[in-house]
Structure 1
Amino acid sequence: MATATNEPRYNDRIRAREVRLIDAQGSQLGIKTLPEALELAKQSDLDLVEVAPLAVPPVCRIMDYGKFRYEEAQKAKESRKKTTQVTIKEVKLRPKIGKGDFDTKVRHMHDFLEDGHKVKVTLQFRGREMAHPELGSRLLDNVIEQLGEGVRVETQARLEGRNMTMVLSSDKKVVKKADEKPAVKPSEKPKVIAEAVPVPAAITPEVEVSVTESGEVHAENEN
C-alpha cells in the first residue's frame, strides 16, 4: 500500500520480500528479491520505486525518484489548469438603477459568463417598491436582452422575500457567426473590338531606265 501522503514507497521503504522488477529502460527483469532489486538500482545510481503496490508481487521500477516526483507534480499542475471551477457570481440590482450603473452591471455579468461562471442576478426591493414586482421582471428581462442570445436562463426569475432572483449561465451551443458580406464581382471591363482598317496598296512609281553610250545608267520617274 502507498504511504499516508499517497506517495509511492521507494528504496528501503518498500516492504515486500519479492518484487517484479522493471529497469530504467522499461525492460522487465522478472521477479527479484528485494535485496537483489535494491542492489541493481544502486549499481545504476538510481532509486527503486514501487509503482504498482497492489500487484502480486508489487511492481517496482528503477528510476530517478526526484525526477519522477517532479514530473508527477507537473502533470498534476497541468490537470488542475484544465479543470474549470464553476462558481456562482452574484450581481445585485435595484429597480430604480440608472442607465450607467445598469450598463456597468451587465458588462460584469458578461465577463463572468465568458469566464465560465454562473451569474445570480438579485433584484432588491425596498418599501413601496414591493407593490410593483412587474417592474423587477421587466428589468430582469432587459438584462437577458442586453446579454444577447449567448446566455441561458438556468433558474427563472422568482420572488424570495424582498428579493427577486434568477440564475444565468453561458450557452455554449450558441455560436455567433460572423457577418458574411456578399462577394463583390469585379466590374467587367468593356471589350474593345478593333475594326480592321483597310491599308491602301503601295503605289510603285514607274521608272524609265536608260543607258548612255558611255555605259552610265539613268533612272527617271515618269510620274
Structure 2
Amino acid sequence: MSFSGVDSDTYPGGHISTEPRINDRIRVPEVRLVGPAGEQVGIVATADALRLARDQDLDLVEVAAQARPPVAKLMDYGKFKYEAAQKARESRRNQTNTVIKEMKLRPKIDDHDYETKKGHVVRFLKGGDKVKITIMFRGREQSRPELGFNLLKRLAEDVSEFGFVESSPKQDGRNMLMVIGPTRKKTEAKVEVKAERDRRAAERKAEVEAEHRELAEHRANSTPSTHKKRGPADNMDPDIDV
C-alpha cells in the first residue's frame, strides 16, 4: 500500500520526525503566538501568524505541539538550529567520560614494586580517573585476607592527597577489590595538565632563545678585528729626512 501524499509527521505509521513543524507545515487553525523576543502575543489565527512571520522575514515554529492550542514562536529557524548545534558540540567537548583504571597488587608485594604501583595510582588520580585496586591471592594467601585489607588501607592513606576511597575493600572470590576516586574532576585535571604543558613549552622556548643569543654574542666577540695594513713608509723613522 502506498502512502504518498500523507504527512509522515502526523500519520502514525510513518516516519516520526524530531524536527518541529514550521511555517506552512503548521496546519492547526490557531496558535498561541510568542514573539521573537519571547513576548506573549496571544491566541491568533495561524494564517495571521504566518503573515506576521513573512512581514518580519522570520519563521513560524511550533515549539509546543501538545498544548491546546499549540504554541508557536516567531524566530529565525536557520539561526536557531545553528546556535543549538554549536551548544551541543560545546557540551560534547566539555563532557568527560568516567574512566576506571586498574592496578593489581600481590599481598606480599615488596617495597620497590609497591612504590612503583603507588606512583601509577597517583598519576591516574591526578589525571582525574578512578582506580580499581585488585589484590590477588594465591594458594595459602587466601587464608590471610587481612594482608590484602592492610595493604589497601596503607595505599589509601598514601594517596589520600589525590583520592578518596569510593568503594571500601571487599572480597571477590580470590581477589579483594577497592575503588579510589579522584579528589578533582577530570576537567580540572585537564586544565592543569594543559597549563603545565604550556609552562614547560614557554621555559623551553626561553632556553632556546637564550642559547641563540649566547651563540650570537660568542660569534661576535670571536670575529678578528680588521687593522690597517702597514706599508714601508710606516716603518721609517719620522726624524730622517727623505
Where on the TM-score scale, by shorter chain, does this alignment land: which range? 0.5 to 0.7
**Which of 10, 35, 47 does residue 22 from structure 2 map onto?**
10
SS at match of 1:167: strand
- Over 3 Å counting, the alpha-carbon distance change for 1:151 and 1:29 in structure 2 is closer
In the TM superposition, 1:28-39 aligns within 5 A as 28-39=40-51
Q: Which has the higher strand share?
A: 1
How many pairs were matched up?
Answer: 172
Q: CA deviation at 1:8?
A: 2.4
Query: Which residue number in structure 2 is paired with residue 93 of structure 1?
Result: 105
For 1:53, give the aligned amino acid. Answer: A
TM-superposed deviation, 1:126: 2.4
Mapped partners of 2:160, 2:120: distance in 1: 14
Q: 2:82 aligns with which of 65, 70, 73?
A: 70
Distance 1:123 1:169 in 2: 17
- The one of 96, 120, 141 equivalent to 1:129 is 141
Q: Which has the larger radius of gyration?
A: 1
1:47-196, aligned counterparts within 5 Å?
47-80=59-92, 85-149=97-161, 151-170=163-182
Residue identity in the other structure for 1:12: D
- Mapped partners of 2:154, 2:43: distance in 1: 72
C-alpha displacement at 1:131, in angstroms? 4.2
For 1:171 and 1:27, locate their aligned partners in 2 and report how far apart those are by CA, in whole Å: 45
Unaligned runs of 5+ in 1: 173-223
Q: Relative to total residues, which structure has the larger helix share, 1 or 2?
A: 2
| CA distance, structure 2, for counterparts of residue 34 and residue 78 of structure 1 | 35
User: CA-to-partner distance for each residue in 1:154-196, whole Å, 9 max, x for gaps?
Assistant: 3332332211112222457xxxxxxxxxxxxxxxxxxxxxxxx
CA distance in 1, matches of 2:179, 2:152: 11
Give TM-score, length-normalised by structure 2.
Answer: 0.57
> Does the C-alpha gap of structure 1 residues 22 and 89 become closer, same or farther in structure 2, counting only changes over 3 Å?
same
Q: Note the alpha carbon deviations across 1:93-142, whole angstroms, 9 max, x for none.
A: 22344545433432333344345543321111223433443332332222
> Residues of 1 paired with 2:129 and 2:27: CA distance?
47
- SS of 2:21's equivalent? coil
Task: Compute the TM-score of the two structures, normalised by the length of structure 1.
Answer: 0.61
User: RMSD of the alignment, in Å?
Assistant: 3.2
List runs of 5+ in structure 2 lacking aligned partners.
1-8, 185-242
Question: Paired residue for 1:177?
Answer: none
Inter-CA distance 102–51: structure 2 relative to 1 (3 Å threshold): same
CA spacing shift, 1:128–1:25, aligned 2, 3 Å: closer
Q: Distance in 2 between matches of 1:29 and 1:141?
A: 65
- TM-superposed CA distance for 1:87, in Å, is 4.8
